[in-house]
Structure 1
Amino acid sequence: MNTHASVVVIGGGVIGTSIAYHLAAAGVRDVLLVERDDLGAGSTSKAAGGVRAQFSDELNIQLGARSLEAFGRFGEEFGHDIGLHRVGYLFLLSTPEEVASFEAGVRLQNALGVPSRMIDPAEARRLSPLITTDGLRAAAFSPDDGHCTPEAVVQGYAAAARRCGARILRRTAVTGIETRGDTITGVTTTLGPITTDTVICAAGAWSRSVGAMVGVDLPVQPLRRQIAVTEAVPGLPPDLPMTIDFTTTLYFHSEGPGLLVGMSDPDERPGFATDTHDRWIPRLAGALEHRAPDILELRRTGGWAGLYEVTPDHNALIGEASSTSRFLYATGFSGHGFLQGPAVGEVVRDLYLGRVPFVDVTPLSAGRFAADAPRPEVNCV
């Protein structure tokens, strides 16, 4: 094994593979990605696959829109079919506060070139005929959004990174980061030591322990989220949007001939457990009975659990540590990491190379919490 790398990327999900690709494609030599399991085996493979630019935070809108462009050309650029369905995202809004918040969001999104719009409940039901409109005040919709297959994106980036000269070590855990003073000198792994002066943490829900290796606090907590898959739905519209009942966090989109269904569980406690359980089903059934009762009649055919990587303000941590040279990080996306993966790879490449990124991510520094400057994202479930 080559025991030197110019940069070590820790984490083989969409963020890590995107970073590795963008670095290698920019001519950075000896890029090494280290993944403790198989590529995409962490949160990425468990994601619902939604891609969107409908956010309340200007930075997230820009990161989402840039990534949508990349997803749109992914097949042509990398030769990988990622199953992209540009069917839109539909947020269903039931309170005056939600409507006001999304109206402000749509104005900001439009100013940044995102074609989102507010619509009435009748149009929402035409777009997503499985819903009922009882209690709905309005909805927000953007036709550019949609969903695709997370594993295909990871494999596409990984293959492209290898073609550009990057190396990938699977089933290899990083057990420590070596420093001399405030300078990184290497990483220790289960396959042995690797000398390097740069580490990029893209370890998702496991990032806090990686940051601790160099004394950097990355306030990321793992939180289990579950998804159910249904049997085939007769007459399922091919253009059914990703539909989100914002009040309850219920969401669904087409998954093959059936539906993928999920929602948050306020009773879930932080931790690394990814086994499935049925304790969330009564709450899910209640939300479906109110907003999409026909889905209750469908048989569950499968499902899984994965981890959100949650920060205190439900926004990402992107930047470079000031206390240790050179430790960069891109983590804590709180449920919207997959959809921002392409743009984040660009941004971290530019931070590494000393370029000015297309968007200023300084407000997403991990130090914002110590500075009492959180940056909350509202449009998350």
Structure 2
Amino acid sequence: MALTTAAGPLPEYADAVIVGGGVIGASIAFHLAEAGVEKVLLLERDRPGSGSSGKPIGGVRAQFSDPVNIRLGQRSLEAWRGFARRPGADVGLESVGYLFLLGDAEEVATFERSIAVQNELGVPSRLVTPREAHGLCPYVDPGSFVAAAFSPGDGWALPAAAVAGYLRAARRHGATVLADCPVTAVDTADAAVTGVRTPLGTVRTGTVICCAGAWSAAVGAMVGVGLPVTPLRRQIAFTGPLRPAPPRIPFTLDLDSTLYFHNDGADGLLVGLSDPRQEPGFGRQFTPEWLAPFRAAARRRAPALGELPVTGGWAGLYEMTPDCNALIGEAGDVSRFLYATGFSGHGFLQAPAVGEVVRDLYLGATPPIDVAPLTADRFAGHGARPEAHII
């Protein structure tokens, strides 16, 4: 997709300036422009999708413990299934389901509570036996866990294709996308946004929407808004072609160790794990040392994966909040500073619904999902909402 770069013209005015060109910013740009907002400007400090959106694992699901996350995931799944029609792109959706491996009675009890809420909201999730789980994913050792949770409507897709698809459609509807154009300051007057500054100059605007992912805390600080987002490196690896080729399997995760894996193309696997030794920071260098805890976890739950060759991998950033739930809302002290960030690993899967929600917050309409519990000021009181199903 041809994108205007930092060498291109910077508009003097925009109705809304979106800071960040990942999948969340791209979705919001599309939904605003589609709704008829005439002057939508998206500014990306690097290239679109080059931050967290360029390197996630691509999972899409509605299996969460928090009802808000369930609804965001559910609505987004509908959008992912119809993405080829609207906004119009092939995101390689694989509706193979999500399979959570549960190692003890406590984990089973946690998922029983979550599944009850999911089912009440229309998600077809269920508990399955270890033998049934093995039938869905032959790699897992049915003797190493006590139950599993499965939802057939979940799966995975291609984030880079989604970012490109959203931005192409946003531009068709009149939005402007500028790459290589960081926001260096947000101007305010009388507690209201008045403009953004960049190396190319200043854009007058009455609305800024922060979608800067792991870099969002710095953007919020420009207007005195606390966005408690901490960057945390996550790494994945690829097996390359395997012989025989892997069967088509669900996106499989071990809740205790955070081991996960799914198909990669027709004949390989993508594998990963949240390394408990990882310290917060912006480092994005791939370091194969994290494969040691991955292999240890694999030998426990899926022994064949413990010895598989790895041909390469990459590192990206999770944008973590204290309760592993997103920050979505509008600042109370600065008029028209909106934010959608801190997704703690589930931003890609929620992007379609979040685009609709932020569109309606901007327009003053009632969003399809009530995200009031996700405002950033929840941490000032007792409103933290810990999400149990984070990997």
Correspondence for 2:299 among 282, 285, 289? 289
In structure 2, distance between residues paired with 1:101 and 1:234 = 38
Correspondence for 2:239 among 230, 243, 248? 230
Match of 2:98 in 1: 89
| CA deviation after TM superposition for structure 1 residue 281, in Å | 1.7
| CA deviation after TM superposition for structure 1 residue 107, in Å | 0.8
Quick check: 1:80 aligned with 2:115?
Answer: no
Match of 1:364 in 2: 374
Q: Confirm or deny: 8 A CA contact 2:144 2:300 kept in the other structure.
A: no
Specify every segment of 5 or more residues in structure 1 that has no aligned partner in the other structure, as ranges. Answer: none
In structure 1, distance between residues paired with 2:88 and 2:367 = 26
In structure 2, distance between residues paired with 1:22 and 1:278 = 39
Over 3 Å counting, the alpha-carbon distance change for 1:238 and 1:3 in structure 2 is farther
Match of 2:330 in 1: 320
TM-score, with structure 2 as normaliser: 0.96
In structure 2, distance between residues paired with 1:236 and 1:380 = 29
Quick check: 1:304 aligned with 2:314?
Answer: yes
| CA deviation after TM superposition for structure 1 residue 238, in Å | 4.8
In structure 1, distance between residues paired with 2:124 and 2:192 = 45
May I ask how many residue pairs the two structures share in their alignment? 381
The farther-off stretch of 228-237 and 124-133 is 228-237
Correspondence for 1:160 among 159, 163, 169? 169
Q: Confirm or deny: 8 A CA contact 1:7 1:30 kept in the other structure.
A: yes
Match of 2:108 in 1: 99
In structure 1, distance between residues paired with 2:106 and 2:213 = 32
Match of 1:199 in 2: 208
Match of 2:357 in 1: 347
| CA deviation after TM superposition for structure 1 residue 297, in Å | 3.0
Quick check: 1:274 aligned with 2:310?
Answer: no
Q: Which amino acid is 1:308 matched to? A: Y
Match of 1:30 in 2: 39
| CA deviation after TM superposition for structure 1 residue 237, in Å | 5.0
Correspondence for 1:122 among 121, 125, 131? 131
Over 3 Å counting, the alpha-carbon distance change for 1:199 and 1:50 in structure 2 is same
| CA deviation after TM superposition for structure 1 residue 235, in Å | 4.2
1:125-164 equivalence runs, <5 A: 125-164=134-173
Q: Confirm or deny: 8 A CA contact 1:117 1:142 kept in the other structure.
A: yes
1:11-90 equivalence runs, <5 A: 11-90=20-99
Q: State the identity %.
A: 58
Q: Which amino acid is 2:114 matched to? A: G
| CA deviation after TM superposition for structure 1 residue 198, in Å | 0.3
| CA deviation after TM superposition for structure 1 residue 337, in Å | 0.4
Q: Which amino acid is 2:97 matched to? A: G
Q: Secondary structure at the match of 1:76?
A: coil
Q: Confirm or deny: 8 A CA contact 1:231 1:298 kept in the other structure.
A: no
Q: Confirm or deny: 8 A CA contact 1:225 1:307 kept in the other structure.
A: yes
TM-score, with structure 1 as normaliser: 0.98
Q: Secondary structure at the match of 1:300?
A: coil
In structure 1, distance between residues paired with 2:298 and 2:240 = 16
Q: Confirm or deny: 8 A CA contact 2:327 2:375 kept in the other structure.
A: yes
